[in-house]
Amino acid sequence: MQWEQGIVLAMLIVIVTCLLTSRIKPAYLFAGAAFIGFQAGLIDLQTLAGNFTNSSLLTLVLLILVSIALEKTRLISWVGRQISYGGQSTVVAKLGLSTAFLSSFTNNTAVVVSLIGAVKRNQRHAPSRLLLPLSYTAILGGTLTLIGTSTNLIINSFVEDAGLPSLSFFAPTSIGLAVLVIGLLILIPLSYLLPVYDEHGQDDLPYFLEAKVDMQSPLVGKTVAENGLRALRRLFLAEILRDGKTVAPVCPDTRLQAGDRLLFCGDVESVTTLQEINGLTLFGQHHMNGQSMLEVIVSQSAGIRGKTLKSVRFRERFDGVVVAIRRGHERLAGGLGNIELHAGDTLVVVPGKTFEQKKQQLNREFVLINGLDSSARLDSQKSIAVLLGFATVIGTALLGWVPIIKGLAAYLLVLVLTGIITFPELRRRFPVDIVVIVGSALSLAQLMLSSGLSARMGDMLMQAFDGWGIYGALVAVYLLTLVLTELVTNNAAAALSFPIAYSLAVSYGQIRCPSLWRYCLVPVPALSLLMVIKPICWFTVWVTTSSKIIYA
């Protein structure tokens, strides 16, 4: 063994060992390996820097940043409403197909984050039976296109770096579609075996929300029951303010009039539910632009105690809009802007650009500020504009008019200039770890190839599966990548297994065959499963084990 191979092999052993036995972040390990390779003279500076500006890596980064805007649109909320009708099998099938389609064109983690709320608000089926299918179909949907998941683009970056033509947009579609169909056929019956859990916890306290019936609203003239306002999950229509009078309690046959102010009690996540009702305007909705919501508690020493939101001019003073108020288990009455604030009241605020800059005022008025797992949606016009813009980028890339990396860069610039995405959001969501891992892994893969280590490891696999031919090589690569995926991150698994798989493909003369996608499919399951794990509890272990057939 040459000394170069010895150094690279030692780095691989250290990386895998640390990933398995320590809590050191993968980004640090891969970056350290690339640095050692550079210091040892195994890779030059120009090549090292070029790996961090790989076109597939930049495309991945742009997709992740653009997905910030896509998460704010009403498309996923609309999808959530459409999939709620029918029996459980129908709902799981519709959820699976919709999730897979969305995941095939955008970040699957973002899709899961956005759809979790819609699934939890489902009126007809237990969310605990839908969350696991949501996770798996998001994973499987990512295998349908080149941009569907980060591992696809990472594999493509390795392919380009090896001097091969870039994989086409729909290169993985035939294999991914077959896997998706098989996965759905397994998930639909298995969903009936999942337990049913009550989503209400001891910390669920009622929020007070207000919405106004628009003048031209389709709700006008219809009863509360006909408009579906009595069947809202975790939301109760407490009273109606009409011409200065209060209608309470609200009967199912009460007919709505233009200008009615509807007062609800319920979960803070219901803010999004009210936004989605056509013809109903949430209190302060005109000032929402897709921002994440904040929860603040009124301090004992606050100057706003004993005053209403209107009298203190809350929006002008703090650059934030209050969309919900909570006061323990007490049911509040009257318009949201006319409620007298007390110490300990919890306010749900949609912040403006300068909200968090007013720290002195905030610290004096509020005891606690927390981020909520919810966000305000863009209005219909902005949502349509964002979706059309993204569709244009994808369409022009497919037609070969504009490279996808240029289209995404221009689109992201437009989103920032129009305020749909803010610079703080870009800083918070920039995938530093992915950039470091992929850029460093490209360098490590080059070292494995140039030193001959990958060819040597490929020969060992060929000997182990002697007589099995190309199919034995596929099984070997699959098992190797599957084991790595279960033990380390999916991106790291793709990075470590590619050089070996590439060497095997070269040995068998199958460098352009679909075998490249056999190991693209293996490392994708990981992150989105963790988001839905809580409602499923330990039953997930059994389903996860049995569903391994999905990837076979």
pTM here is 0.66
Residue length of the chain: 552
User: Please, is 21 exposed, middle or buried when counting C-beta atoms within 10 Å of its C-beta (0-12, 13-18, 19+)?
Assistant: exposed
Domains and CATH numbers, the chain: 207-266 (3.30.70.1450), 291-375 (3.30.70.1450)
Confidence at residue 493, expressed as pLDDT on a 0 to 100 scale: 76
Contacts of residue 148, Cβ cutoff 8 Å, sequence gap at least 6: 103, 104, 105, 108, 141, 142, 172, 176
Q: Which residues of 83-116 are buried (b: 16+ CB within 10 A; e: fewer)?
A: bbeeebeebbbbbbbbbbebbbbbbbbbbbbbbb
Cα atoms in the 13 Å half-sphere on the side-chain side of 519: 36
Only one residue has tokens 């064109």, namely 105
Q: Give the C-alpha separation, 377 to 361, whole Å.
A: 27
Instruction: Show pLDDT as tens, one digit a residue, over the chain (552 residues).
Output: 577 888 888 888 888 888 778 788 888 988 998 999 899 888 888 888 888 888 888 988 998 899 888 878 877 667 776 777 788 899 899 999 999 998 888 877 778 867 776 777 666 778 888 888 988 898 888 888 888 887 888 788 777 777 777 778 888 888 888 889 999 999 999 988 888 765 544 345 577 778 889 888 899 989 988 888 876 766 778 888 888 888 877 888 889 999 898 888 777 666 667 777 888 887 766 555 555 677 788 877 688 888 888 888 888 888 888 878 888 777 777 777 788 888 888 888 877 777 766 656 676 787 655 555 455 567 778 888 999 999 999 999 988 899 999 999 999 999 999 988 888 888 888 888 888 988 888 888 888 878 888 778 777 777 777 667 777 777 777 777 777 777 666 777 777 788 888 777 777 766 554 444 444 444 444 434 443 444 333 333 333 333 333 333
Amino acid residing at 56: S
Give the angle 26-31-35 at the CA atoms, nearest 5°: 150
